[in-house]
Structure 1
Amino acid sequence: MIKAGKWLFFLVGIIVLVSCASYLEAEPEEKEFEFDGTTLNVIQNSIPTDLFAEERENVKVVRKLHVKNGSVDADWSLVDNTLNLKATCFGLANCDARFEVYVPLDVEVLRNGKPTQLTGKAE
């Protein structure tokens, strides 16, 4: 009985490793937020987030979220000058997420309350 349990655990582990979720396979979702401030604080909640400055008048967010197993609590909101990005997996989770944020050229951007460069690279 113990041997069978070990083999089952091993097989489940192999299946999970072989079939990992990847944000690269996700269908991108976009949302635009009206923004007239001069400083934007992006709270990324441990999700890789790429930041870009471009000629635009609002803030655009692209979410790439791929869920294979478990459930996910995903949200994006802009309140005052804080953009809160969230994607948390629950249960026997197999999911992956990444955000891209596009801001107007004249906006100073903070990442989790700290100054950052708009290089497009996730931190």
Structure 2
Amino acid sequence: MESKDAIAALAALAQTTRLETFRLLVKSEPDGIAAGELARLIDVPQNTMSAHLASLSRAGIVKSERLGRTIIYRADLGAFRALTLFLLKDCCGGNAQLCAPLITDLTSCCLPEAGSCVN
């Protein structure tokens, strides 16, 4: 990932509704959520949600799929992984002892047997 891509993704997430939308999409993986349902769940007008989803899509962290008249949105977990790895690449100057607590927190976030992330 290049710096400009990381900046775009972080800028898109630096707004309350977009961050909440992205987190909701991550929780809904792999099914995704229809645009209208996202607007209802987050309690924003559909045109406002559409603008937020466009911003997240341009930043490359959300993808969409048209199913008939409905557009299903999903978090792009590959892009989110790339962003996270970009941010952690030089973690603690390569000192494993300093990075260990962070890595432990990240790996314990998701329980494979449960199939979902723990908040």
Q: Is TM-score (shorter-chain normalized) higher than 0.5?
A: no
Find the structure with the greater CA-based Rg: 1
Q: Give the structure with the larger strand fraction.
A: 1
* Coarse TM-score class (shorter-chain normalised): under 0.3
> Which fold has the larger relative contact order, with Cα–Cα distance below 8 Å and residues 6 or more apart in sequence?
1
- Provide the TM-score with structure 1 as the length reference: 0.26
